[in-house]
Amino acid sequence: MHRSRRDTGLARPVLPVILLLLACADPEPVVLTPDAQSWPQEAELVVDGLHAVESLWNEGQASAAGTMAERVYTERFEPRMEPALREMEGPDAAAQLEYAFGQLRVVLDGRDRVRVEASVDDLERRVRAVGEAAERAFPAPGAAPTLPAPRADVRPIVPEVPPAWEVDDAAPTEAEPEK
């Protein structure tokens, strides 16, 4: 009896299930070291790209600015900084920043200078914050992790001591009565 191709048993349905399971697996994100010397410098490379985007848009080259914005994201931010952000703050934070880059592309198609500047400024601030956080979370090999700087509105706890504080050894104490 001749078997048709349709009668192969369970072998065919198993392959799609295996592929589906592999696709759904959540691999650990790989956080690569920055191309620059430090994470803040890596962030500045992204910011420099954002400045180039804004300059192109100001020169009336909206299409080139949009292309540059895409390249800043895909070639500079996404390969290194996004995995660090995803590892530090989770996929929602990474998706929000990715959305902000997408919104920049939309804003670049318009003629509203205020919206373009606000979008670039917001991305600059957020990218720099990621660079600073990544510097603390993923220090360079051999470097000690740095602690965040204290907030400017918090005063250190220091006792109020008069500047001419002197200890008088000749003064009587409770244990020694005066003579």
Does 63 fall in a domain?
yes
Does 9 fall in a domain?
no
Does 106 fall in a domain?
yes
> For residue 79, how many C-alpha atoms fall within 13 Å in the half-sphere facing its CB?
12
Report the C-alpha gap between 132 and 130 in whole angstroms: 6
Identify whether the C-beta of residue 91 lies closer than 8 Å to the C-beta of residue 59: no
Does 154 fall in a domain?
no
Picking from 93, 104, 122, 126, the residue whose alpha carbon sits closest to that of residue 53 is: 104
**Domain assignment of residue 71, given as a range:** 28-137
3-state secondary structure of 4: coil
For the record, the structure tokens of 63 come out as 């299409």
Please tell me the total count of domains within the chain. Answer: 1
Does 176 fall in a domain?
no
Whether the full predicted model's pTM is greater than 0.75, yes or no, is no
> For residue 150, how many C-alpha atoms fall within 13 Å in the half-sphere facing its CB?
6
Each residue's pLDDT tens digit in the chain (179 positions)?
A: 555 555 555 455 555 555 555 555 555 445 656 666 789 999 999 999 999 999 999 999 999 999 999 999 999 999 989 999 999 999 999 999 999 999 999 999 999 999 999 999 999 999 999 999 999 998 876 665 555 566 666 665 655 655 565 555 555 555 555 65
For the record, the structure tokens of 110 come out as 């318009």
Does 18 fall in a domain?
no
Does 11 fall in a domain?
no
Tokens 């349709």 locate to 6
Report the C-alpha gap between 65 and 58 in whole angstroms: 9
Does 148 fall in a domain?
no
